[in-house]
């Protein structure tokens, strides 16, 4: 440990960070381009919040922390919260105190920023994975728990193959019934953009509104946004795909207003959106985050999605 140095990020560290990341986290590999886009270009990135471990001048680990400097629309700066969105120690240097030294520096920094709670890693909009895949990274789970992190909740990532997909007859019947009552299911239009952004933000989460806004701004085709319109001509549900990092097969966000649930609107939106995805030649639909036992989780499972991974969102109170 005598030759271990903990410092903060400097320009030029990027290739070594990515190489360390990919060696330590083989199921979460990233490219240099993704690192630049998702880390360095994040409005909340601060060089002093990215901690580097070196031995003999060689990068052997890092911890990436985030505090919010720019609020998302509809939220504040969440001044009590900090996040660790990624961390890794080179496999050849694990078990030698490198991770603990990095976390001491990272947690001290977050405390100095006035944070009272730190999470891994439910940071919107920039999480890489929602939390810790305990099945894949059992040593990391034990490490975090030894530092006082506790599981806050668990979410599931799911996938569905679309090669032989078709809309079931019962979903078509539900769609017909709702349309007979005055509901409409339609693609986004210019006239609905502002309303849909506001609905996604106010009914769900500022990050959902951001996904719609940035998807439209990036030029996503309007047929990648499906809307449910009530008999009063108001948006009461939406679904989209391709809105996160421009990945076409990534489904979501997706939701229906609380006041409209129980009518099958979400079911119709989901199946219609999957049909559009298949019609565009996509072979799969996937997402990273749902509550497996939530109404949405049950809907996904009934639609043929299967759980691919489970993530524990980990939290620690900072004394």
pLDDT tens-digit map of 148-157: 999 999 999 9
Per-position DSSP letters for 279-299, written without gaps between them:
HTT--EEEEEEE-TTSHHHHH
On whether the pTM is more than 0.85, the answer is: yes
Q: Once rounded to an integer, what is the mean pLDDT over residues 185-194?
A: 99
The answer to whether residue 313 is domain-embedded is no
64 and 124 part of one domain: yes
Are residues 63 and 105 in contact, defined by beta-carbon separation less than 8 angstroms? Answer: yes
Q: Look up the domain containing 204 and give its range.
A: 164-282
173 and 274 part of one domain: yes
Supply the pLDDT for residue 72. 76
The answer to whether residue 238 is domain-embedded is yes
Q: Once rounded to an integer, what is the mean pLDDT over residues 182-187?
A: 99
The string of pLDDT tens digits covering residues 121-146 is 889 888 899 999 999 999 999 999 99
Distances (CA, A) of 316 to 121, 139, 147, 149: 11, 18, 8, 5
The string of pLDDT tens digits covering residues 84-101 is 999 999 999 999 999 999
Number of domains in the chain: 2
Supply the pLDDT for residue 73. 67
Q: Which residue has the tokens 């490219």?
A: 31
116 and 213 part of one domain: no
CATH code, domain with 252: 3.40.630.30
99 and 193 part of one domain: no
pLDDT at 2 over 80: no
Question: Which tokens sit at 304?
Answer: 């043929």
The string of pLDDT tens digits covering residues 229-284 is 999 999 999 999 999 888 999 999 999 999 999 999 999 999 999 999 999 999 99
Supply the pLDDT for residue 260. 98
């Amino acid at each position: 440990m005598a030759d271990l140095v903990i410092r903060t990020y400097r320009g030029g560290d990027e290739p070594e960070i990515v190489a360390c990341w990919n060696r330590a986290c083989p199921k979460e590999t990233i490219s240099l381009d993704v690192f630049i886009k998702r880390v360095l270009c994040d409005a909340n990135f601060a060089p002093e919040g990215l901690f580097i471990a070196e031995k003999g001048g060689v990068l052997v680990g890092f911890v990436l922390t985030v505090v919010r400097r720019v609020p998302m629309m509809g939220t504040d700066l969440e001044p009590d919260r900090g996040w660790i969105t990624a961390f890794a120690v080179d496999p050849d240097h694990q078990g030698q105190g490198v991770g603990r030294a990095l976390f001491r520096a990272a947690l001290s920094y977050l405390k100095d920023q006035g944070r009272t709670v730190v999470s891994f890693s439910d940071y919107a909009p920039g999480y890489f994975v929602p939390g810790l895949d305990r099945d894949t990274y059992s040593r990391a789970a034990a490490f975090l728990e030894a530092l006082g992190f506790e599981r806050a909740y668990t979410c599931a990532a799911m996938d569905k193959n679309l090669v032989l997909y078709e809309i079931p007859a019962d979903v078509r019947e539900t769609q017909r019934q709702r349309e007979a009552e005055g509901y409409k299911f339609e693609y986004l239009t210019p006239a609905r953009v502002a309303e849909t952004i506001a609905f996604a933000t106010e009914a769900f989460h500022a990050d959902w509104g951001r996904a719609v806004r940035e998807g439209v701004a990036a030029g996503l085709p309007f047929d990648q946004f499906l809307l449910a319109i009530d008999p009063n001509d108001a948006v009461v549900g939406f679904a989209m795909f391709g809105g996160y990092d421009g990945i076409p097969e990534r489904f979501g966000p997706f939701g229906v207003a609380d006041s409209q649930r129980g009518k099958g609107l979400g079911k119709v939106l989901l199946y219609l959106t999957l049909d559009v995805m298949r019609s565009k030649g996509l072979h799969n639909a996937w997402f990273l985050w749902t509550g497996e036992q939530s109404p949405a989780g049950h809907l996904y499972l009934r639609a043929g999605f299967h759980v691919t991974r489970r993530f524990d969102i980990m939290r620690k109170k900072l004394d």
